[in-house]
Amino acid sequence: MEQKSRGRFIVFEGIDGAGKTTQIELLEKRLKEQGRRVFRTAEPTESVTGGMLRDALAGISKRTACEMAALFTLDRIFHNVNPVHGIEKMLADGIDVICDRYYYSTLAYQGSEIRGDWAFDMNLNCPEIRRPDVCLFLDLTPEQSMERISKGRVTQEIYETHEKLEQVRRKFYSVFERLDEEEHIVIVDASKSIDEIAEEIYLIVNTLGIR
């Protein structure tokens, strides 16, 4: 019997304004043109837990950093094991999975607010949370990011945004440093042209091979 090869699990993370959505769409299109089947997905997901997360992100409900980390992690487990359209099911069917945000976001956003290694352990030691084949981090300096996202704001708001962007970027970098030995993480210079970035990403994905 013919052995079906597993799909590839590709995660995108990125700084605000780095063009994550554009690049995800372009990669999906190119992989499909190559004849591959692609499943595009994102976190938080559309699950009940995902809804709770969206309410909290929108400020409708208030949650602590541990509650948020636990909810994101639970949502991620469903995302992996859902028998109908979970990540595991798709990969097993030979479909490439492109996921917009994954545990790197939990480690950067929630992890930095929680003392100790709990958020790391919960995500990286969970047998039902798969490690991606590659994490593509679309990187911009806070200046570049602001140039793209902020137009016509007052000075103080610009400073606040700058500080926040700097902080988030630092957090992602420290997460990547920590995972450097055990994972395939690529920092992509998102200040290049859309086509250049798309080409770079396409080449990286094609070196992943198909198992």
Task: Using CB atoms within 10 Å of the CB of residue 14, give its burial: 0 to 12 exposed, 13 to 18 middle, 19+ buried.
Answer: buried
Residue 180's φ and ψ, nearest 5 degrees, are -50, -45
Report in angstroms how near the CB of residue 44 gets to ligand TYD at its nearest.
6
Report in angstroms how near the CB of residue 34 gets to ligand TYD at its nearest.
26
**Strand segments (E) across 62-169:** 96-100, 134-139
Residue 73-112 contact track with ligand TYD, rule CB under 6 A, x = bound = ---------------------------xx---xx--xx--
Cβ closer to ligand TYD: 4 or 62?
A: 62
Q: Does 57 bind ligand TYD (CB under 6 A)?
A: yes
Q: Which of 8, 9, 43, 179 binds ligand TYD (CB under 6 A)?
A: 43
Tokens of 110: 């929630």
Report in angstroms how near the CB of residue 110 gets to ligand TYD at its nearest.
6
Cβ closer to ligand TYD: 46 or 93?
A: 46
> Do 109 and 165 meet the contact criterion of CB atoms below 8 Å apart?
no
Residue 209's φ and ψ, nearest 5 degrees, are 75, 170
Report in angstroms how near the CB of residue 26 gets to ligand TYD at its nearest.
16
Report in angstroms how near the CB of residue 84 gets to ligand TYD at its nearest.
21
Reported for 45-51, long-range contacts at CB under 8 A and 24+ positions apart, including other chains, are 45/75, 45/78, 45/79, 47/75, 47/78, 47/79, 49/74, 49/75, 49/78, 50/75
Site size toward ligand TYD (CB under 6 A) is: 10
- The site for ligand TYD (CB under 6 A) is made up of 43-44, 57, 72, 100-101, 105-106, 109-110
